[in-house]
Chain A
Amino acid sequence: MNATIRKVAICGAGGTMGAGIALVAARAGFQTVCHDVARQGLDRSRDQAAMFFSKSVERGRMTEEGRQEALARMLPTVDLGDLADADLVIEAVYEDLATKQDLLRQLNGICGEQTIFASNTSTLSITEIASGCGREDRVVGMHFCLPAQLMKLIEMSRGINTSHETFDAAWAWTLKAGQHPVETQDKPGFILNALLVPFNNDVIRAVEAGLASAADIDKAIKTGLGYKMGPCELIDLIGLDTQVRLCEAFYPITLDPRASAPPLLRRMVAAGHLGRKSGRGFYDYSRQG
């Protein structure tokens, strides 16, 4: 087991989460291979990285020299072969079991024997993702929070076959990267989504049942519990279609009624009320430009 991680690769680095994870790795001083299937996404992530590091310089969190070095450490590629000598590969590709399994199988044939594979899945089983990849003992769960470059928390989980050495090496890397790991079992949603997805559904059911308006529910939660954002505001930000997808990932596994998509949620998605991204969800954003 290669306990010293120097070179990190991110799969799905053209997406929001992958791009954020790449920022975390590069900022912490690791050579960071940024992989995606399309060059366009990588170019966009590169521009966003330059902007993010520039803001860090403006805010005094990074020197100009540090900015240039961090950007230089980020190596975009559409060729999986460029990940061959990575010590740690973090996948943040589309949340689909078959897609992730296929990627790990491909990577197993490309990367060195000691390379650790980490999955950023938020809902899928690490054990299932690792299954059949050829190095099940070197696969670990590493769920970053969105936006990864700002949120320090990482939920770390072991698959049934994950070795202690793999978990310990990945855990040590998160600390070196300046993150805050917490350990959780390999269960649907780990901690964060296991608590949040059913709660969001409860809120939607409360709106549907006429308990109170979305605005009053948000006001109650913020004033009474001190949450920074009301749950309806949060669902609008996450996207109602995303909430449906989360439910569809959770419910068949857990059979928890709270995890099933509420009828109102499905109706709102069918009506095109997806939240901020469509300009309307529980609130109307059309006038915000």
Chain B
Amino acid sequence: MRDYEIIQTGPSRSFPPGDEFLSRSVHGAEVLIHLGGEPCEDSSRAAVLVELDAECLGVHTGEQSGNEGSNVLGFSRYRNGLDAPTNLVELVRQPKSSEEAIEAARLMFEAAGFEVVVCADQPGRIIDRLVRPKYNAALRFLDEGLATAEAMDMTCRMGLGYPDGLIERVVRGDLARHHDISLAIHEMTGQAAYMPARRAVVAKKRSEA
């Protein structure tokens, strides 16, 4: 086990209350993890991690025309809505991030039993960047009458080997949250594929009512 210290100042999607990972915080450990708050620079640590939601790491660290990077990294443990968090940790780096910091963070998470992938500081990281357009497309297909939700979900499971259908997954993950993530990525990319589908907009409005 690699040591880490957690500073939690707000709710965490990656590690909800009671998560075993929270209980193993060690004061002064080489990796510092900020949950729910702004990271503070600390060059005495091998890595300083900040939990990300839909925002980019640069929002916390600032950016310098492609020369940004330090021992401050972003991360998110993937979960679909309020489903239990998965075992996947997306570790977010910047162009000039410290390779030692990346390695320290990777080893720490792997020692805690997580699968770690490293990605650039781009909107949506890996999973949301790739699945949100697909969810929007499926929701639009539903509106356009391409097929029923059941037929689309069945096609995903039986034809593509997915564990669940796209419609059932995005609905279970909360259409209002899908709206928020899609909109956040759309704001950063300008790509139409991330514009929330009508059903997500409706769900968002109803959640606010």
Contacts and interface: CB of A to CB of B under 8 A. Distances in A.
A100 to B, nearest CB: 22
A155 B148 CA distance: 12
Interface residues of B, number: 42
Interface in A168-217: 180, 182-185, 187, 190-192, 194-196, 198-199, 202-203, 206, 209-212, 216-217
Given A210-B120, A228-B161, A187 B126 contact: no
Contacts, number: 132
Given A212-B126, A221-B127, A153 B87 contact: no
B147 A185 contact: yes
A31 B69 CA distance: 67
Contact of A211 (B115, B120, B137): B120
A195 B138 contact: yes
B118 interface: yes
Contacts of B87: 223
Given A225-B127, A226-B163, A229-B161, A185 B145 contact: yes
B120 A195 contact: no
Interface residues of A, number: 41
A227 interface: yes
Interface string A79-99: 000000000000000000000
Nearest to B132: A202
Interface in B184-209: 191-193
A206 B158 contact: no
Interface of A: 145, 151-153, 155, 180, 182-185, 187, 190-192, 194-196, 198-199, 202-203, 206, 209-212, 216-217, 219-221, 223-229, 231, 257-258
14 contacts: A153-B154, A184-B155, A185-B147, A191-B146, A194-B141, A195-B134, A198-B134, A202-B133, A206-B129, A211-B129, A219-B117, A220-B78, A220-B127, A228-B161
